[in-house]
Amino acid sequence: MNRNHVVNTNEFSFWYGNFQALNKLTFNISSYKITALIGPSGCGKSTFLKCLNRMNERGGEVSHEGSIQVFGEDIYHPIVALPELRKQVGMVFQKPNPLPLSIYDNLVFGAKTHIKNVKSSELDHMVESSLKRVGMWEDLKNQLHRSALSLSLEKQQRLCIARLLPLKPKLLLLDEPCSALDPAGIEAIEILIKDLKKDYSIIIVTHSMNQAKRVSDETIFMYMGEVVEMGQTEELFTSPKQQKTAAYIDGRFG
């Protein structure tokens, strides 16, 4: 296993029933970097993210071939415990989805579910440290029992990131995390994401080429379930090797 890689996929294919959504993905994703996943609607970006914590298996019938390793562990091995995997690989969605509970209860929900006999002093500590990590402690420390749903969308999205942190994830998956936000909210979340890569490996799906350029170190361009091209972000956007990549980043389709 190579510590420089958070994800290694090897000929990984994935089907929803008879429909093949991912075709023979083979690539590595660097650890402690931000990797952008781009490509037209329906190309399999969300599907790939959901394969990384096996969330796809919650719905109908699915199957796969090939393998995915996260920090060297084969996540499709039969002994893999799904709750443990989902702690290690946290996900944030397009629309902020805090639970209809207080800010405090949102932040401790995962820990209460996943960790046995956790003390209330530990929960308090988790709340403080995770809110500090996303830059909201000073703002919210006197309002922890306020409903999370009363926060602005940007703060709800920060909270959705913060609530993953007590579970000590290795990898954060962000599926179009800014698409519900205004420009100020987008900027704030991008600053946060860049700061988080000191401690976490991050994959971000985005439809915005500019966002991919602003935040990511590496970019993967997918088309119809396949990886067309992957590289350093600057290189991929300035001198794409494939015609299809050039056409997509120029806005000629998608």
Ligand X SMILES: Nc1ncnc2c1ncn2[C@@H]1O[C@H](COP(=O)(O)OP(=O)(O)OP(=O)(O)O)[C@@H](O)[C@H]1O
Q: In the set 6, 43, 131, 228, which binds ligand X (CB under 6 A)?
A: 43
Q: Whole-number minimum distance, CB 17 to ligand X, in Å?
A: 7
Which three-class secondary structure string do you get for the chain? Answer: CCCCEEEEEEEEEEEECCEEEEEEEEEEEECCCEEEEECCCCCCHHHHHHHHCCHHHHCCCEEEEEEEEECCEECCCCCCCHHHHHHHEEEECCCCCCCCCEHHHHHHHHHHHHCCCCCHHHHHHHHHHHHHHCCCHHHHCCCCCCEHHHCCHHHHHHHHHHCCHHHCCCEEEEECCCCCCCHHHHHHHHHHHHHHCCCCEEEEECCCHHHHHHHCCEEEEEECCEEEEEEEHHHHHHCCCCHHHHHHHCCCCC
Q: In the set 5, 10, 13, 16, which binds ligand X (CB under 6 A)?
A: 16
Task: Name the binder of 16 from Mg ion, ligand X, none, CB < 5-8 A by kind.
Answer: ligand X
Cβ-based nearer residue to ligand X, 46 or 88: 46
Residues 68 and 51 sit within 8 Å (Cβ to Cβ) = yes
Q: Which residue is nearest to Mg ion (CB)?
A: 46
Cβ-based nearer residue to Mg ion, 46 or 130: 46
Does position 233 interact with Mg ion (CB under 5 A)? The reply is no
Does position 109 interact with ligand X (CB under 6 A)? The reply is no
Show the site string, 44-63: x = touches ligand X by CB under 6 A, - = not.
Answer: xxxx-----------x----
Cβ-based nearer residue to Mg ion, 135 or 254: 254
Show the site string, 45-74: x = touches Mg ion by CB under 5 A, - = not.
Answer: -x----------------------------
Cβ-based nearer residue to ligand X, 16 or 76: 16
Q: Whole-number minimum distance, CB 94 to ligand X, in Å?
A: 8
Catalog residues that contact ligand X under the rule CB under 6 A. Answer: 16, 19, 21, 39, 41-47, 59
Name the site residues for Mg ion (rule: CB under 5 A): 46
